């Protein structure tokens, strides 16, 4: 049976994965209660693990260095407790060649928005989506918190048919954004750096 992470880990990890997000987005990452998440974020802020910032009309939470260390400690303990380190490392190795494909496809669309470039990148990302299903399956077998990447990626790919922003946009849950988050999730879980 897949391990269910404690809400404290999920909340702090969601802040890391989102980078900068309000409490609704943090709670939404792992389908947590928004009100309880807000209270937990306030606790984390008082512990010095996260900080709240505002830039114009944007406001949100981000990790401090102390929070990053706490999250890495939580993730390492979870891997040890569940004996999942090896299986996550194997998935990470399978992820790396796909990461090169996604990076190239997204860069190509950003540098050349021509329809034929978009179509070629969309097709490459469709192949990645199929492979992502297997990666997620293997991850979720040990750690349930990895669920949802495939659904989010394929949803973005489907939406990109009508709006190209769903491939590389930063203000929607685009293929690029979902993939970047998965990459951060894997390296954070394994204690690696980019």
| pLDDT for position 59 | 96
Which of 145, 153, 22 has its CA nearest to residue 82? 145
| pLDDT for position 134 | 97
The DSSP secondary structure of 132-174, one letter per residue, reads HHHHHHHHHTTBGGGTTHHHHHHHHHHHHTT-THHHH-TTTT-
Per-residue tokens: 194: 């980019």
Give first-to-last CA distance, the chain, whole Å.
31
Per-residue tokens: 135: 């990666």
Mean residue pLDDT of the chain comes to 96
Q: Exposed, middle or buried, 7 (CB in 10 Å: 0-12/13-18/19+)?
A: middle
Prediction pTM value: 0.94
| pLDDT for position 51 | 98
In the predicted model, residues of the chain with pLDDT beneath 70 are: none
| pLDDT for position 49 | 98
What is the Cα 18 distance to its own chain's centre? 7
| Total number of residues shown for the chain | 194
């Amino acid at each position: 049976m897949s391990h269910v992470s404690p809400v404290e880990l999920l909340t702090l990890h969601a802040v890391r994965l989102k980078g900068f997000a309000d409490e609704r987005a943090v709670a939404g990452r792992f389908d947590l209660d928004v009100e309880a998440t807000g209270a937990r974020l306030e606790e984390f802020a008082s512990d010095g693990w996260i900080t709240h910032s505002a830039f114009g009309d944007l406001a949100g939470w981000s990790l401090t260095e102390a929070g990053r260390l706490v999250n890495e400690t939580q993730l390492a303990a979870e891997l040890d407790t569940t004996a999942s380190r090896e299986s996550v490392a194997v998935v990470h190795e399978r992820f790396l060649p796909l990461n090169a494909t996604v990076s190239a496809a997204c860069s190509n669309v950003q540098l050349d928005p021509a329809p034929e470039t978009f179509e070629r990148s969309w097709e490459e990302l469709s192949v990645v989506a199929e492979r992502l299903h297997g990666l997620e399956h293997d991850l979720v077998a040990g750690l349930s918190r990895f669920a949802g990447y495939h659904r989010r990626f394929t949803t973005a790919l489907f939406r990109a048919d009508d709006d190209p922003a769903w491939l590389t946009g930063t203000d929607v849950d685009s293929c690029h954004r979902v993939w970047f988050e998965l990459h951060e999730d894997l390296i954070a879980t394994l204690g690696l750096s980019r």
